[in-house]
Structure 1
Amino acid sequence: MSTTEWTSDELRRIGGATELQIASYRPDGTLRPYVTIWAVAAAGGIEVRSAHGADNPWFRRALVSGRGRIQAGGVERDVTFARLDAGDAAQADVDAAYHAKYDRYGPAIVGAVTGEHATHVTLRLDLA
């Protein structure tokens, strides 16, 4: 758990942004290029999921690095990446938040980041 909490304004702004830019840090401390993904504010934090599973390059790099930087809704912050356990009760909140925010794009698209198959690729973004 992060020692610094997201503010309600940051949660609102990031949660309200359609897309989030995410990048991990390389071992030498430089930032990789940003990748555009979907993100939700759920369970009191910011969560992201890999739409293309655990082999998605940004997701693999985030796990290896453990830290990165995000931009969304006018907020830019350094974060750490913490894998949310598939059985964590917060997974239902993450699913609900993805549906509420992105269902307008259709079931095939939002289905890539919701449901049981997506729980193993859920990352919680904590402030670094």
Structure 2
Amino acid sequence: MSAWTKERLQQLASTDDLHIAPFRDDGVTLGTPTWIWSVVVDGELYVRAYNGTASRWYLAASKQKAGQITAAGKTTDVTFEEVAGEVNDRIDAAYRTKYASSPYLKPMIDDRARAATVRISPQA
């Protein structure tokens, strides 16, 4: 696993245009980019699936573990890792801060979305 640069993390933290494209079953073809919310917590990039673990992009990311994201004008090859545990409380807090005015905030911090939390890291 590689780490984001400080500059790139700042860009990712401030943008609201992240599109995720996990690989399809063939492990080569990228899926259709899906716009999702993202937050940065403790120097890591996290996303959640609004529709929980049944979400198409989440299922692909969980299975393939790799793909691409496009955000803040740059496309990056990435890896995906499912996360659980206490970090979800800090992720909730980051969502509350970044998306405080959105009517969609509550579903993004409920149990369904928390169960579909993914850490995104740049490929080495």
TM-score, normalization by structure 1: 0.88
Work out the CA distance in 2 between the residues paired with 1:82 and 1:44: 15
CA distance in 2: counterparts of 1:28 and 1:66, whole angstroms:
9
Partner amino acid, structure 2, of 1:37: I
Cross-structure match for 1:78: 77
Instruction: Mark the CA change 1:84 to 1:44 in structure 2 (over 3 Å): closer, same or farther.
Output: same
Which residue is equivalent to 2:91?
Answer: 94
Instruction: Please say if residues 102 and 110 of structure 1, whose CA atoms lie closer than 8 Å, have aligned partners that are also in contact.
Output: yes
What is the alpha-carbon distance in structure 2 between the residues aligned to residue 31 and residue 115 of structure 1? 29
| Mean Cα deviation higher: 6-15 or 19-28 | 19-28
Pairs aligned (count) = 122
The one-letter amino acid paired with 2:74 is V
Give distance in 1, aligned partners of 2:61 and 2:93. Answer: 24
Judge conservation of contact 1:43–1:94 (CA < 8 Å) in 2: no
Residue 23 (structure 1) aligns with: 21
Structure 2: 5+ residue stretches without partners: none
Stretch deviating more after TM superposition (25-34 or 9-18): 25-34
- Displacement of 1:43: 2.0
Residue number in structure 1 paired with 2:34: 35
Amino acid at match of 1:63: S
Shift of 1:19: 2.6
Identity %: 30
TM-score, length-normalised on structure 2? 0.91
Q: What letter corresponds to residue 15 of structure 1 in structure 2?
A: A
CA offsets 1:61-104 (integer angstroms, 9 cap, x no match): 1111110100111232111110002x2x2111111111100011
Output the CA distance in 1 between the equivalents of 2:95 and 2:32: 25
Q: Secondary structure at the match of 2:99?
A: helix
Q: Give the CA deviation at 1:25.
A: 1.2
